[in-house]
Chain A
Amino acid sequence: MNVLDVDYMLQLVPVLLSYLPLTLEMAGAGMVLALILACLLAVIRVLAIPGLNALTLLFISFFRGTPLLVQLFLFYYGLPQLFSALTEINGITATILGLTLHFSAYMAESIRAAIVGVDRSQTEAALSIGMTNGQLMRRIVLPQATRIAVPTLMNYFIDMIKATSLAFTLGVTELMGATQKEAAGSFLYFEAFITVAVIYWGIVELLAWLQRRLEARFNEAYQR
């Protein structure tokens, strides 16, 4: 067995890190858009809006029920075949679209559960002092639902960051794509992939730390 080429790995780190912004951009954009969509879907489910509710269930069922990779290929290779206007869809856009739709399906359910999980009597108390439904949501329910949802949403965000690596199958040179290219040039596959693995791991640990901070902050009101 050959000895690990540590020098090569150290050289590789700054090269790979220069692709990190693209990875984080795709995950960041995907997360923001998925959150917005998921909130909409969750509210539709909570209020059981006729018609839209059924569509939402179908949406969630499809995007939870099929692999993300299949969905990405569908958007990148499949859609342009149907709609010629989409011929120009690039890999980055397709990835963000795929991440958004895929993860919003999961997140909608956890947001819905968080909204339903807020003590019902507080809703009545808010209505009893004359709050409108909108005020009730903004001031009482959503702040508390956020606290309940933070751990699961952060989990999805972590998952999404790692899922951006699939973009390389659409020809996007992000963190994973860059690693693949570097490894193909140097034939030092193990070094290249263990390096990128550690980079992903580091980002996720950073987020986990952030999550703990967030949870501690949200829990301040609940200390006895």
Chain B
Amino acid sequence: MIRVEGLIKRFQGNAVLSGIDLEIQQGEIIVVIGPSGTGKSTLLRCLNFLERPDAGRIRIGNLDVDAARPRKADILALRRATAFVFQNYALFANKTALENISEGLIVVNRWPKDKAYARGREILERIGLADKADAYPASLSGGQQQRVGIGRAMAAQAEVILFDEPTSSLDPEWVEEVLGLMKQLAEERQTMLVVTHEMAFARDVADRVIFMEGGRIVEQGPPSELFSAPRDPRTRDFLRKVLANQASLQS
């Protein structure tokens, strides 16, 4: 289980996160929605310590970190407990698909190479890219690169995978294959915290949807409730805009 308490992050004095409290059960799939610049990505980046929070407490399993005064070992442990999927894939350009996935097992978990590559191949199989083991990122499509990015996160066997707008920089033709893989992970009850603008994914896959605005969690609940009967006017306003936009695309 993951518990975040009073997480605060400021950039040059501006609060981007103004006290986030969040609990995530094992196997839970949470989607975070909200307008741009409301701290959704910052929340994910703080959980992974890519950004250093100014205050708060993060607990994952036995790990209990005072976010304002983390020890170096805490940061590494926290990063090992949380895997990250980046908007722009961020694959290691000098490594093949297989090496990208196995790299963490070899370097961070200190597995022997053949064991790490065997696991890497299993994961390539699961993400449907078994034939691309020796391909470098530059030769892969955007969708394939992001699937390798997800594969890299899967290999980490983290408590939770954090997805930071995983389909936002993809060409539309590749979005479905990435969302499909995420659904597959959700069905396997991989704990996930997903920031996305894909409302259909949120509705179909999430156990809980969180609406954030202004660095705060405004409202949260099961997608059936949040989408059909949002309580807060800000949630209503946001959903009206987004859903109108998506409906106009479909018609």
**Do A and B interact?**
yes
Interface size on B, residues (CB 8 A): 28
What's the nearest-Cβ distance from chain B to residue A218, in Å? 9
B20-32: CB near A (< 8 Å → 1, else 0) gives: 0000000000000
Q: B156 — nearest CB in chain A belongs to which residue?
A: A129
Judge whether A125 and B92 touch: CB under 8 Å.
Answer: yes
Q: A130-B108, A223-B138, A224-B138 given as contacts; is B91 within 8 A of A125 (CB)? A: yes
In the complex, chain A residues whose CB is within 8 Å of the CB of B86: 121, 124-125, 128
State which of A124, A139, A144, A221 has its C-beta within 8 Å of the C-beta of B90: A124
Asked if A122 is an interface residue, CB under 8 A from chain B, the answer is: yes
In the complex, chain B residues whose CB is within 8 Å of the CB of A124: 50, 84, 86, 90
A118-154: CB near B (< 8 Å → 1, else 0) gives: 0101101111111110010001100110010000000
Judge whether B83 and A131 touch: CB under 8 Å.
Answer: no
Q: A146 — nearest CB in chain B belongs to which residue?
A: B94
Judge whether B50 and A131 touch: CB under 8 Å.
Answer: no
Q: Which residues of A contact B (CB under 8 A)?
A: 119, 121-122, 124-132, 135, 139-140, 143-144, 147, 220-224
Write 29 A-B pairs (CB below 8 A) sorted by A numbering. Answer: A121-B88, A122-B91, A122-B92, A122-B93, A124-B50, A124-B84, A124-B86, A125-B152, A127-B79, A128-B48, A128-B50, A128-B83, A128-B86, A129-B80, A129-B104, A130-B80, A130-B104, A131-B108, A132-B76, A135-B107, A135-B108, A139-B107, A140-B94, A221-B94, A221-B95, A222-B136, A223-B136, A223-B139, A224-B138
Q: Which residues of B contact A (CB under 8 A)?
A: 48-50, 76-77, 79-80, 82-84, 86, 88, 90-96, 103-104, 107-108, 136, 138-139, 152, 156
